[in-house]
Structure 1
């Protein structure tokens, strides 16, 4: 069934997500801090709003695809925040990667306003957003998930993983696996190259084996071709590994592999590569081995 939806944050991921919601027959009201990103969405049928509070008026659900927790808090609950304009019983789905405690605090604030809440971060990058096959990890009540599942299904594969905060927890698990695999793929390709093998042929030879993965296929190719146009910027990967380590520490859990990988991404950002795709971690490993990049 079609519905009116609000959507805040139409960047690399958000813009194609809006297009998929429109293609599914929904009416979508949009706002983005950088207004130039909205022209193409308006041409596709989205209603451009002048401030966040306008986005939520008449919307059955509000979806947020923003950079971090403080930005979500400000645009949801700050002056002219979007949450205040929603009718009671509407759903707020925060699809950003934010800390677990932040998601739980947002859920409590929404509950006080009479709103349902989901923390529903995604994985799949720009390609997954364009193709509408994002992995969507949703935390919140079963009722909130049932209410939003139809909308989220236009964007990918939503799975209800537990109460509020659990979507973000699942995303942290995802990010640790992605970050560690990216670093390992980069190390493997460097080993092949330094040893005299053709990295592209090694990648081809591993296809179908236990080492194969979407990361080896997609990001391995990026590494070989030095194509680091951002689908998932390294600075956000670094933010997520840092957040995962903080969450683990709060649980008394040591994650030694994640700690090393987090250090690599922090160094990559410090070196000025934070806006490159996270596959650019191979550049940081080249630096660590004395190569110029």
Structure 2
């Protein structure tokens, strides 16, 4: 048995801000992917995944018992498959902010949901919001609290534009220009990040009025502008807003940036060779980079591995 593939995602803009109703933009990233598989002879990694799926089955059974109107999963089929060695075969690195649990949740929903909303339907705003809500509950097992966006992106394999928590839509983004000098890239921090502690730091910061004001007046303002610039293809304005956003994150989200990257982050702002921002909740994993000149950025970051996501 091998199920369909589900891809990783990248939240280009909106980390933390979407909790407080900023705009956001999430795109599928097809370089990493995962699928449900079954095997008689499991490797150590597959065994670990199977054990995790056993625990997840219990969570889903309880969730369905508590909220039958939200969810109808074929629990009998799921239990039978898990008991006979099903696992999630994935190349998506865990703790890297690109949706490893989201892809798994999308695969489970796709295979076992009895009344599923499919990609082939007319995806009205109501359907998208219902999917997001279901996925949020399904993914909470892994993070404590989930917006549902990662699985939604993985399930639909379409760019998702978040206008607010109650207003999301699938969108199109400008076609890649593979000969363009500009690029969005991933920088590997070499550290595994954990979402829950980072979100806790953010929530603690939110108790202070000064931080709330920074979030509203600077962070969300520049995030919203970046989303609008990216979707409309306004590159000049985008990089002006990216520089501001990178600065705000360095000044006010320092705990989410691994210490050894503080100098590198600042250097990008000072030289304009590249701008860095958080990829997901931060604390490790990937860091997102934007540059108008990939050759310059590669030279400036020659000691690091760059993975290009999008050219323009």
> What interval of TM-score do these two structures reach, taking the shorter chain for normalisation?
under 0.3
TM-score (norm 1): 0.27
Q: Which is richer in strand?
A: 2
Q: Which is richer in helix?
A: 1
TM-score (norm 2): 0.26
